[in-house]
Structure formats: C-alpha cells, structure tokens
Amino acid sequence: MTVRPLDPAVIATDRGADRPTSFEDIFDLLDAIRPAWHAQAACRGQTDVMFPVAEHGRRLDTSAARALCARCPVRNPCADQGRTERYGVWGGTGSGSGRMSQRERSAAIRDVVADGEWHSTSDIAQHLKGHLSTVHRSLVGLVSAGVLDVEKRHPATYYRLKDHT
C-alpha cells in the first residue's frame, strides 16, 4: 500500500509543480483525505442522486438514492458517517430518517446535563455525536422552554438542567 501525502504542495511537487495546478491535483487531494470505504460506494460519482434538491412545493424524492444504497457494500459505515451530516442520503437514510429526531435529541441533551454540572455546546454535541449547529438549536429551544439554565462564559456558552425543586 502506498501512503499518499495530504499536503497539496507535496502532491503537486510529485508532478514537478510548486503548487496544485490542475483539477487532477485537487481530485488527488480529495481522494487522499476520504475514508477508504468511499472507493467501494455504489454511489461514487452520483452527487446529484445522493444530494437531491426538491422542487418548490414538492416533497424531496430520495428513491433513486435509496435504490443505490440498497445494493451498496459499504452501507453501514456510510450510515454511521451520515449521522453527523446535515444533507444528503447516507447508507439509505436521509431527510431525517434514521437520524435523531428533535424529541430524541432533546431527551438525549437532558440526559447529558442531568448531572447538574455545566456543559458547553461543543461538549454536548460531541457526546451526542451531533452537528454543532443542530445541537445548538435544540439547546436554545430547551432554554426557551425553561428546561435548561444558560451561562455565557467567554468564549463558550454553558448549559445545565434547571433545578425544579
């Protein structure tokens, strides 16, 4: 197995240039940083299918993407990756299916902060393996509902479960 460099300057230097100068160099860099399972994905090169866009007023159609996923040999690692992705169909899941619902995320956040300690947004997101902005929106909702206390300490904001005694 050949180890490929991640530094674009090194990739370009291999071809005798001092910096990446072509799409080929950029694609080589992307290939070098992708997880190994991407090479086996049935959807490789099918960006339009896997990241569909709904027409105005119509429901998003993910049937073509799900059909690709159904025959894909790397469906499980793809679905694992998709849990932290905001867009697209990953491992046959997408558009919210197979991902944590708002109700589930709120319950999970309450479990994390139930110890009475202060927790930063990034700590909670890391614990839930969730996207930072998605967890932040849930935290704001829980503060508005009176479930969480909030304390701003530069540079982060901290949360804990309100004491309802």
Q: What is the pLDDT of residues 56-107, one digit of tens each?
A: 777 778 889 889 989 999 988 888 888 777 788 888 876 445 456 677 788 8
pLDDT score of 82: 80
- CA geometry: angle 70, 62, 100, nearest 5 deg: 85
Q: Please check the confidence at residue 12 and state whether its pLDDT lies above 60.
A: no
Query: Are 117 and 79 in a shared domain?
Result: no
- Cβ atoms within 10 A of the Cβ of 1, count? 3
Query: Are 68 and 134 in a shared domain?
Result: no
For the chain, the domain total comes to 2
Q: Please check the confidence at residue 137 and state whether its pLDDT lies above 50.
A: yes
Token pair for 151: 């304390």
Last residue of a domain, one of 66, 94, 122: 94
Using CA atoms, how far apart are residues 148 and 121, in angstroms rounded to an integer?
A: 12
Query: Are 58 and 107 in a shared domain?
Result: no
Last residue of a domain, one of 94, 129, 145: 94
Last residue of a domain, one of 94, 115, 140: 94
Classify residue 2: in a domain, yes or no. no
